[in-house]
Structure 1
Amino acid sequence: MRHIIHADLDAFYATVEQLDNPELRGKPVLVGGRPESRGVVATASYEARPFGVRSAMPMRTAVRLCPQGIIVRPRFTRYREMSRQVMEVFREFTEVIEPLSLDEAYLDISGAVNESEGRWPLGVALDLKRRVKSQTGLTVSVGVSVSKSVSKIASDLDKPDGLVVVPPGDQADFLAPLAVGKLWGIGPKTAERLKAEGVDTIGALAEQPPEWFERMFGQRANSVRLRSIGLDDEPVNTERITKSVSSETTFPDDLGDPEELRRVLEELAGGVAGSLERKGLQGRTVTVKLRLADFTTFTRQSTLPSPSNEPGPIQELAWRLFSAELTTGRTFRLLGVGVSNFAEPDEIRQLPLSIEGDFRAYGTGLGWPERAPQA
């Protein structure tokens, strides 16, 4: 029998700041940009949340709701470092890990559970929480069940420092009273549509006939119906086919200085090149992702003459793509660099590269994952 953990670090960015700076402990911390520069909240500490502050809220709104909040600029290098430490703790329990973001992952702990020796899912989860706390100082909320979707819902029900275990066979009863919007794959718009049909809870959803699911969800009908009763056999994915390698950063404050933007761009491109080299990949297509101060988001891409994982050509082409978008008064909220269209192993050649020649820019890129920093 499978046993799946969904682990979610509590108020990750804010907690890291409180760990590193004892003066912030017990105080409302707002990690993000400055309110006067149209910054947004990346994460709010649990001391700030009773005031109504939440992630992705404009910082000026957060300050109005919580005037005593202490604004701290994000340090993503530090957060990545702490995330790696947590993942190392997870590997003490299993190698079957699917990271979702810096602060969130699925773990298949089936191999760590041995009921005949007293190693129950609850005990494994408690041990995991204890080790994360003792080795990193962070708290993690954990949901445990036989499926990914139920475990994810469970981990969110008792935050912070939560632990919810759903015994095998109890999935449907566990889900039934919960709001339908908590079900994996039911977004706010779908939840409103279901509410208009008189379906407010997951239990009410599960009671609908198959033809109703067909009408409401089309091709997704069967998967939604099964998840509504807690049946989900999707595996914890440790390996995925790499179609692109990318890196992006969201600025605490809108940025318009060309020299600073170029520095960030070259750092991102250099990091992507390093990742390509470590993975043994060489790519042809370079893409830059841009988000303006008004949240308009678009990409620009072009192709190298030959596949590469060298920093120089990737940085040079990325800058040429980006510099074409620099205009007076334009400021940027997010910047990213990606490489895709990988060469097959037998195509890879060590050739000197130049980006002189054919140059194309497109309005759509390489299917960049839209994941804003959250914790």
Structure 2
Amino acid sequence: MDKQRVVFHIDMDAFFTSVEQRDNPGLQGKPVIVGARPGERGVVSAASYEARRFGVHSAMAVSEAYRRCPHGIFLKPRMDAYVKASRAIMDILRSFSPLIEQISVDEAFLDMTGSARLFGQPLNAAEKILEKIREQQSLSASIGVAPNKFLAKIASDYKKPNGITVVPFATDKITAWLSTLPVSKIWGVGQKTKERLYELGIVSTGDLQKCPFDYLHKKLGKQGASLYYLCRGVDERNVEPPKKPKSISREHTFSRDCSNREEWKTVLLSLSQDVARQARDSNLKGSTVVLTYRRPDFSRHSKRMPLPCPCDVSRVIYEYGLKLVSQVRDTTLRLIGIGICDFGRDHQLNLFYQDEHIQTLQNAEKAVDNVLKKYGPGCLKRGSENSKKNKL
């Protein structure tokens, strides 16, 4: 007889702002908002629960967040700190199951099937996970426990923050549990789909459960077929480690449209360092550099150039980024970004970029990585960053 599948969805509570409050105890209990600063153009990346009481939420324009919460503490994101905490949390999850699927920096699925002898019943195992995260990282999370990913994802949002929700495992009880939820809770139901369902008189998941398969397929096509099964709690997808990314990139939106090319270069240097560090952490080397930019009219454009050899070195990525910037004829940009792709593709080395030269640069940057991991973000800077000169 097959074992009953048990899936956890672990969702960190207000992750970015919780890391800020953990690292700076003076921020605890205060409305913290991570994202753009007031007066800048941009959006909220994360809001603490104290800020959410004023209606502030992620993806909200920072101008609106400031209007709702003018006394809030607005902070720029510290991605290195969030990534460091995320890695530690994922390591904790791996100590409970090797079948982990990280879907973002602050959430993951865990297949806990057959783990009762090691960690107890699902509720007990979930409690142990929260306790370990709290002890080792001083952060809180919420967990959904269910027979599949779809139900676990919904359940993890039930008792936030620091809550555990166990979904019924019997088929008839699952249907009843889902029936009272609004259709917007179902995976894949965005604003447009919700409006279409409302037009059809479908407001709750229970309403959706009453619709025949053929009707939903006729009205909504493939999505209708998917909704027919999801509203009944049917989801056959396995928990799987994510595939290797096709590209690694970082972007920066200027607070105001920028026509200063030296500022473009300064931003590209920082972004190149982030891209290279992420590539090294993922054990990936790119063969093509891609420059991305937006004009003030919001139109998006890109330029690309092959590298002399696959690499994960910021100096090389930045140097080729500068070559691409020199090809940009626009005088003003709204956004600029850089990335690498074509992982694993081989190129003939040119005379300058010999293996030894690349290896020397890579060793130096790995040494910097180790220092940053040990002492934290911001402990090291390039001389060019301090002098605001961008030549290598």
Query: TM tier, shorter chain?
Result: 0.7 to 0.9
Q: 1:14 to 1:205 in 2, by over 3 A?
A: same
Matched, 1:149 2:150: yes
The equivalent position to 2:102 in structure 1, one of 99, 102, 111, is 99
1:110 corresponds in structure 2 to 113
- The match for 1:367 is none
1:226 is the counterpart of 2:232: no
After superposition, residues 190-229 of structure 1 pair within 5 angstroms as 190-229=193-232
Question: What is the CA–CA distance in structure 2 between the aligned matches of 1:251 and 1:61, rounded to whole Å?
Answer: 18
1:123 aligns with 2:124: yes
- Give aligned-pair identity as a percent: 36
The answer on 1:265 being equivalent to 2:281 is no
Q: Does the CA-based 8 Å contact 2:43-2:61 persist in structure 1?
A: yes
Query: What SS does the aligned partner of 1:47 have?
Result: helix
Name the CA shift for 1:298/1:151 in 2 (closer, same or farther; >3 Å): same
Q: C-alpha deviations, 1:309-368, integer Å up to 9, x for none?
A: 153443233233345447545343xx4322223445xx56555478xxxxxxxxxxxxxx
- Whether the 8 Å CA contact 2:288–2:307 is kept in 1: the answer is no
Shift of 1:55: 1.0
- 1:59 and 2:62 matched: yes
| 1:183 to 2:167 alignment | no
Equivalent residue of 1:204, what SS?
Answer: helix
Amino acid at match of 2:155: A
CA, structure 1 residues 16+297, in 2 after alignment: closer, same or farther (shift >3 Å)? Answer: farther
Q: Say if 1:239 and 1:160 are closer, same or farther in 2 by CA, change over 3 A.
A: closer
**Of the two structures, which has the highest relative contact order with CA contacts closer than 8 Å and spacing of 6 or more?**
1
In the other structure, the counterpart of 2:318 is 315
* 1:46 equivalent in alignment to 2:68: no
State how far apart, in whole Å, the 2-side matches of 1:243 and 1:72 are: 29
1:140 maps to 141
Please report the TM-score for the alignment, with normalisation by the length of structure 1: 0.83
Cα separation, partners in 2 of 1:266 and 1:17, compared to 1, 3 Å:
same
Distance 2:28 2:113 in 1: 37
Quote the offset at 1:33 in angstroms. 1.7
- Among 14, 19, 38, the residue aligned to 2:17: 14
**1:300 matched residue in structure 2:** 302
Q: 1:10 Cα shift?
A: 1.0
- Residue 338 of structure 1 pairs with residue 343 of structure 2: no
For residues 282-308 of structure 1, give each alpha carbon's deviation from its aligned partner in whole angstroms, at most 9, with x where no partner exists. 5443223335677x2624132316552
Give the AA of the match of 2:110. L
CA apart distance, 1:258:
3.5
Q: CA RMSD in A?
A: 2.7
After superposition, give the CA deviation of every residue in 1:37-93 in whole Å (9 maximum; x if it has no partner): 224211111011111111121222112111221212221111111111111111111
Write the distance in 2 (CA, Å) between the matches of 1:165 and 1:30.
31
Q: Distance in 2 between matches of 1:280 and 1:81?
A: 17
Question: 3-state SS of the aligned residue for 1:142?
Answer: strand
Q: Deviations over 1:82-118 (max 9, x none)?
A: 111111111111121111111111111224234xx77
Are 1:237 and 2:240 counterparts?
A: yes
Contact 1:98–1:236 (Cα < 8 Å) also in 2: yes
* Residues 196-252 of structure 1 deviation map (CA, whole Å, 9 limit, x = unaligned): 101011121122111112112323343321111001011112141x35231314558
Partner of 2:82: 79
User: Structure 1 pair 140/325, CA: closer, same or farther in 2 (3 Å)?
Assistant: farther
Q: Deviation of residue 23 (structure 1)?
A: 1.4
Task: Say if 1:243 and 1:341, in contact at 8 Å, map to a contact too.
Answer: no
Equivalent residue, structure 2, for 1:4 = 7
Deviation at 1:173, TM superposition (A): 1.8
The equivalences for 1:155-166 within 5 A come to 155-166=156-167
> Contact conserved, 2:89 with 2:133, CA < 8 A, in 1?
yes
Q: Give the Cα separation in 1 of the matches to 2:328 and 2:191.
A: 34
Provide the C-alpha distance between the structure 1 equivalents of 2:230 and 2:74, rounded to a whole number of angstroms.
40
CA distance in 2, matches of 1:232, 1:128: 24
Structure 1 unaligned residues grouped into runs of 5+: 355-375
In the superposition, relative to structure 1, how do residues 76 and 221 fare at CA in structure 2: closer, same or farther (>3 Å)?
same
CA distance in 1, matches of 2:251, 2:35: 12
CA distance in structure 2 between the aligned counterparts of 1:252 and 1:47, rounded to whole angstroms: 28
Deviation of 1:8 (Å)? 1.1
Aligned length: 346
Instruction: Name the CA distance, whole Å, in 2 between partners of 1:262 and 1:287.
Output: 15
Structure 2 unaligned blocks of 5 or more? 354-392
Describe the shift of the 1:49–1:269 C-alpha distance in structure 2 as closer, same or farther (beyond 3 A): same
- 1:271 Cα shift? 4.3
Deviation readout 1:256-296 (Å, 9 max, x if unpaired): 353343233234334444555666655443223335677x2
Contact 1:177 1:203 survives alignment (8 Å): yes
Task: Give the deviation of 1:140 after TM superposition.
Answer: 0.4
SS at match of 1:55: coil
CA distance 1:7–1:191, shift in 2 (3 Å): same
Q: C-alpha distance in 1, partners of 2:217/2:89?
A: 42
8 Å contact kept, 1:35–1:58: no
Kindly state the Cα deviation for residue 162 of structure 1 after the two structures are TM-superposed.
2.1
